Structure 1
Amino acid sequence: MSQLPIVRGLAETLVLLSDFTMDEIADIRLAVDEACSTLIGVAAAGTSLRCVFTIGESELRVQVDGVAAQEGLPDARSFGWHVLRTLSDAVDARQEPFDQQVSGYPTTVEFRRVRGKA
């Protein structure tokens, strides 16, 4: 959780350099925060998050991978998930079966934001 401001700052810098508007930058920064916070909330003790930012000609894709302590996807009815859906053009969560090597359930939250969408 202590590294979350660094991830937010990295996301902000990447989209700032990619011609997103100031409003889009603020939305993306908040969406990254929600995606990471969602996985932090279900994370197995001692695990890490991995964030992958892919910037295309007209969109940004963010994939956040973590290891959940319990089986089950993030609650799609939660306020945080609602915020993530509102700030992105597409959002998805998926989970793999229990993995003994990581002592948990590999879980991914991914979202996409299109640049300049009215």
Structure 2
Amino acid sequence: MPVAGTPEEGQRADVELRLPADSAYVSVLRTTTASLAARLDFTIDDIEDLRIAVGEACALVLPDADPASPLVAEFFLSPGRLTVRVTINGSELSQPDHDSFAWQVLDTLAPGAVAEVVGDSLLVTLSMQAETLEPSL
């Protein structure tokens, strides 16, 4: 059974972005995340939380990335929900340190974030639900 908010096995991403596995390109990924969240009517605060969470997910995976392979970000969109999966390939991958600062920030901003090693890939998946604002009377 998948974790709440994670894409189903074989589900195709609505948006996929491939970038060099280099921290210089993380800002492109953060900006793309913010743009997609804005289209899903996320609040400004939630958009900023997502931008930070995606940056921290990259901080977790990039040190283990094979420089010749891309950083792949997949975005799964549904009404009021955005799920982002960041993937890198590497030869000696291990689970991220759940006691690290980057993981603590990620887990605070996107509770339920998941990191897993599958073959020669390290995947970090995070999901966030947009706040629904009730009209005031």
- 1:12-47 CA-partner distances (Å, limit 9, x unpaired): 111111100010000000011111121112212322
Is 1:34 the counterpart of 2:49? The answer is no
Structure-2 separation of matches of 1:4 and 1:76: 21
Residue 107 of structure 1, CA deviation: 1.0
Question: Contact 1:50 / 1:65 at 8 angstroms: preserved in 2?
Answer: yes
* Equivalence for 1:51: 73
Structure-2 separation of matches of 1:56 and 1:62: 12
Residue 117 of structure 1, CA deviation: 6.9
* Equivalence for 2:107: 85
Question: Contact 1:45 / 1:69 at 8 angstroms: preserved in 2?
Answer: no
Structure-1 separation of matches of 2:40 and 2:67: 35
Alignment RMSD, CA only? 1.6
Kindly, what percent of the aligned residue pairs are identical?
28
- Kindly tell me the number of residue pairs found equivalent between the two proteins: 111
* Equivalence for 2:38: 16
Structure-2 separation of matches of 1:8 and 1:78: 21
Structure-2 separation of matches of 1:28 and 1:90: 13
Residue 58 of structure 1, CA deviation: 2.5
Structure-2 separation of matches of 1:47 and 1:79: 26
Structure 2: which 5+ residue stretches go unaligned? Answer: 1-22
Structure 1: which 5+ residue stretches go unaligned? Answer: 98-104
Give the TM-score normalised by structure 1. 0.86
- 1:67-102 CA-partner distances (Å, limit 9, x unpaired): 1342311111101000000001320011123xxxxx
Structure-2 separation of matches of 1:63 and 1:32: 9
Among 106, 109, 114, the alignment partner of 2:121 is 106
Structure-1 separation of matches of 2:24 and 2:93: 25
Question: Contact 1:89 / 1:114 at 8 angstroms: preserved in 2?
Answer: no
Structure-2 separation of matches of 1:78 and 1:110: 17
Question: Contact 2:40 / 2:81 at 8 angstroms: preserved in 1?
Answer: no
SS across alignment from 1:112: strand
Structure-1 separation of matches of 2:101 and 2:91: 21
Give the TM-score normalised by structure 2. 0.75
